Structure 1
């Protein structure tokens, strides 16, 4: 039997025991096996490796027949192209998009469905645009405001819970021992410990130090941080100074001060002196700024 016929029957897994022994005696047997194994390892979903190799063989055999070693070299080159191409393809479709912000930085990005996401300082968002139609999931660390395209839906995952989007505008804030979702328009679902809470416009979900906190109806149409201002209502003072540190890239040193006391007020993000006065005067605190360290103490 001709070598080409042996190779073709091998590709079709149709060799008899005698033909298999004859095939193993071919001079380039080892190279053919390596070629087939390499293409099997890197094949794409539903890609017929045997058929592809067979087509390559047929193309070579119907062309002007080069020397044996030369056509094998051509086949190996084609296989190498397959390997590289599939490697790049798989790397690309599995590569997530990651966007993060540093201290005192904000940014806005667009999701694959044209929904927009504004990231607050020291926050991170991850999603896969290539798999968006099958896996509509966003991973969030920090704080973000979502303005969702009408008719779109996806999930926002955080370490504390999942927010299911039904087409709306909402804010998610996830910090250490702090998880808050505020719905500004439409409807969102917040899943925490297996239970989903539906939020309509003006409603909030707040988890502080593991405890659910009741909040009054939200009257604003968007979070204050979008306008370079942080607003707090009956929040522990440690949350206030933690947000201040993120917005101004500073560190606080607190002396004789109970950081669990509640604070209501706000501070601007674009003038540190005014901001410091806003968070110290209501509590009768004094401050001293040395480089990037701010010392707070009660008068």
Structure 2
């Protein structure tokens, strides 16, 4: 029976055609910095294990389970993280196929199409945020429940990305190659080098673009406008109407990056959507008129309980929590 060190060496050699030492180093660095999750790390190695399994195995006399247990401990020791109690690699390797994930410089990239040009996708789940460094040097901060798509040749012929959700863009200047953000309903923003925030969730009625620094052109089939710093465009996707306004502090648009809220006559229904994305919970209302109650103000250093308590302090509402579900109802007199 081989020693643990020999098994680790065999696994690394077995996977050498699928993953280089540099890729492994980047994976571990991304995991340490919490840029990728444990689940994503698992899925990546599971896909490589399956691919390598198409060839002859060097693990004579060793069970598949023992091989992966030893290699798992090795990986998590290298990342200075405690190994899991139960391995999911075996479950993934033995079950249905999962999406192949590649990790380059700490960014999770999903393989969208095979045998064609591959589109790269960064997906952020509810309750999470992500930081993305694009090949051209531009930086993107993604909010919860958001997705960013771009082509593998991004920055060469064009700098076009597709956004579903919310993101802050710090764009590297390149006058010869504009940076374009495409969203649903035909709304797009074009920049040369600037800082701005786009909020474009599929289920929201409005798309908003807020300029922090520089200049951008926002447009759809209905309009085209140039924004200056501290200006915002709001586009109603149902009525196909837009409204351009000047705001006192554009940085309020990116308070979400520090877990802060700013409400300006925001309905409770919309606030609930924000909380669902940030805290991975769901909301319901005992009557439809509760959804339309409006709130204005700023909440700093917040937790979900803090936000809920403040809402019930300033309005005749109460809430109950059952697991991850919150119900708003009117206070009993």
TM normalised by structure 1 equals 0.65
Aligned in 2, Cα 1:296/1:233: closer, same or farther, shift over 3 Å? same
Match of 1:141 among 157, 161, 164: 164
Please say if 1:158 is aligned against 2:176. Answer: no
1:199 aligns with 2:227: yes
The alignment partner of 1:288 has SS state of strand
The 5-angstrom pairing of residues 69-80 of structure 1 reads none
Match of 2:312 among 268, 280, 284: 280
> SS of the counterpart of 2:326?
strand
Q: Secondary structure in 2 aligned to 1:167?
A: coil
Distance 1:297 1:100 in 2: 34
How far apart are the structure 2 equivalents of 1:280 and 1:212? 33
The root-mean-square deviation of aligned C-alpha atoms, in Å, is 2.3
How far did 1:297 drift? 1.2
SS at match of 2:157: coil
Deviation of residue 283 (structure 1)? 2.2
Aligned equivalents of 1:149, 1:228: Cα separation in 2: 26
Q: CA deviation at 1:194?
A: 4.6
Q: Deviations over 1:188-211 (max 9, x none)?
A: 111122521110100000124534
Question: Conserved in 1, the CA contact under 8 Å of 2:137 and 2:172?
Answer: yes
Q: List 4+ stretches of structure 1 deviating above 6 A.
A: 90-93
Report the Cα distance in structure 1 between the residues aligned to 2:271 and 2:328, rounded to whole angstroms. Answer: 13
Matches within 5 A, 1:4-43: none
Where does structure 2 lack aligned partners over 5 or more consecutive residues?
Answer: 1-112
Distance 1:91-1:233 versus aligned 2 partners, 3 A rule? same
- Identify which range, 149-158 or 212-221, moves more after superposition: 212-221
Please give the per-residue CA displacement for 1:272-291, whole angstroms capped at 9, x wherever unaligned: 21121133322231111111
Q: CA deviation at 1:215?
A: 3.9
Say whether the 8 Å CA contact 2:131–2:139 is kept in structure 1. Answer: yes
Structure 1: state its 5+ residue gaps: 1-89
Structure with greater Cα Rg: 1
State the distance in 2 between where 1:258 and 1:291 align.
Answer: 22
1:268–1:250 distance in 2 versus 1, CA, 3 Å: farther
- CA 1:237–1:213: 2 relative to 1, 3 Å: farther
Cα distance, 1:272–1:241 mapped onto 2, change above 3 Å? same
Question: Do residues 238 (structure 1) and 238 (structure 2) align?
Answer: no
CA contact (8 A) 1:229 1:268 kept: yes
Using a 3 Å threshold, how does the CA distance of structure 1 residues 216 and 263 change in structure 2: closer, same or farther? farther
2:280 aligned with 1:254: no
Checking the alignment, whether the CA contact within 8 Å between 1:189 and 1:196 is kept in structure 2 is yes
Match of 1:271 among 303, 313, 323: 303
Residue 262 of structure 1: how far off its partner (Å): 2.6
CA distance in 1, matches of 2:290, 2:308: 17
Matched residue, 2:66: none
CA distance in structure 2 between the partners assigned to 1:238 and 1:214 by the alignment: 23
